[in-house]
Amino acid sequence: MIVRMIGTFCLTSLSLAGIALAQQPDAADPVLGKMGNVEVRTSEIRRLLDAQPEEIRKQISGARELDRLVRNELIRQALLAEAKSKGWDKRPEVVLSMERAREGALLQFYMSDVARPPASFPSEEDVKRAYEASKAAFTIPAQYQLAQIFIASPETADRETAGAAQKKAADLAAKAQAKGADFAKLASANSDQKDAASKGGDLGWLPETQLLPEIRAAVIKMDKGEVVGPIHSASGWHVVKLVDKKPSQYRPLSEVRDTIVSELRVRRAQEIERSYIETMVGRTQITVNQIELSRFQSSKK
């Protein structure tokens, strides 16, 4: 859609147009960079930056970013000069393409203005209705704080090695499930997942969507403090303890309001654009000379 493209396209067009329309520099407009006969002056870089949105300007406010900007502009202008010196700007296909780009920029600016929703849209009621209608999209999945004892047993292991790993995991599960068992101590001494073992097997908080299917199936049925296992996965055996859990919940409206407002404004702009074009077409009938179109088609074969 035209409206969706307006942001990036028109900012780029503004930047290039601003450079092209720059006035002849004077002594009060110092040179920021030079590449052969090509110079970039302060006014050009200022015009380029002024055409960008605020968040982009902030990203290139440092010395390193500005240095890179000047260098890139010098290269761009040097390439343009070289292309023009070789007559590329006179080639029919290039002239047509540049004209289409110019017309495209005009159309983008115009339609952006035509389709822009009023500043008051959406209302707070609109936002609330959209939130309720799309609440499922703002769901935070259930989270689980887990600890585990992991015994590695890859699928490529021979039968004897795999059997020994399974037995070890079963023995550790029995010890971990015994009354008064110190799960952290067992994990530290036996788990093959060394980074977690150094923390007593603690895996921290994990969203349900990131758990291995085999572990997720067990964890969702567990109570806090419960230990289950051994659970087999493609990489080995897991003895898992559920330390704590948080139920699934919706993100509050305050957190997602900006996202909803942005989506509603884009949707409304698309509706306004579509309605505008349909109205224009309805006022002036479109006709196509099918006979000449057929002749044209034949001439292209």
**Rounded-to-integer distance, Cα 129 and Cα 135, Å:** 10
Question: b/e string for 134-164 if b means 16 or more Cβ within 10 A?
Answer: eeeebeeebbbbbbbbbbebeeeeeeeebee
If DSSP codes are grouped into helix, strand and coil, which group holds residue 247?
Answer: coil
The pLDDT value recorded for residue 27 is 63
Q: pTM of the predicted model, to two decimals?
A: 0.59
Q: Using the 3D structure, point to which of 223, 247, 271 is the last residue of a domain.
A: 247
Same domain, 153 and 74: no
Q: What is the pLDDT of residues 177-229, one digit of tens each?
A: 998 899 999 999 999 888 898 899 999 999 998 999 999 999 999 999 999 98
**Rounded-to-integer distance, Cα 215 and Cα 209, Å:** 11
Same domain, 165 and 108: no
Same domain, 133 and 265: yes
The pLDDT value recorded for residue 71 is 92
Give the torsion sign (CA, 152, 155, 157, 161).
positive
Same domain, 122 and 266: yes
CA atoms within 13 A on the CB side of 116: 11
Same domain, 79 and 102: yes
Whole-number CA gyration radius for the chain: 32
Same domain, 149 and 212: yes
Same domain, 242 and 212: yes
Domain encompassing residue 133: 117-138+251-301
Same domain, 155 and 20: no
Q: Using the 3D structure, point to which of 80, 115, 150 is the last residue of a domain.
A: 115
The pLDDT value recorded for residue 116 is 93
**What is the separation of C-alpha 213 from the centre of its chain, rounded to a whole number of angstroms?**
27
Rounded to the nearest 10 degrees, how much is the dihedral formed by the CA atoms of 248, 249, 250, 255?
Answer: -110
Same domain, 169 and 209: yes
The pLDDT value recorded for residue 155 is 80
Q: Considering its fold, how many domains does the chain have in total?
A: 3
Same domain, 231 and 277: no
Q: What is the pLDDT of residues 20-71, one digit of tens each?
A: 334 444 568 899 999 998 999 999 999 988 888 777 888 888 888 999 999 9
Same domain, 131 and 278: yes
Residue 294 has pLDDT above 60, yes or no: yes
**Rounded-to-integer distance, Cα 249 and Cα 130, Å:** 18
Q: What is the pLDDT of residues 230-284, one digit of tens each?
A: 999 988 999 999 999 999 999 999 999 999 999 999 999 999 999 999 999 999 8
Same domain, 154 and 235: yes
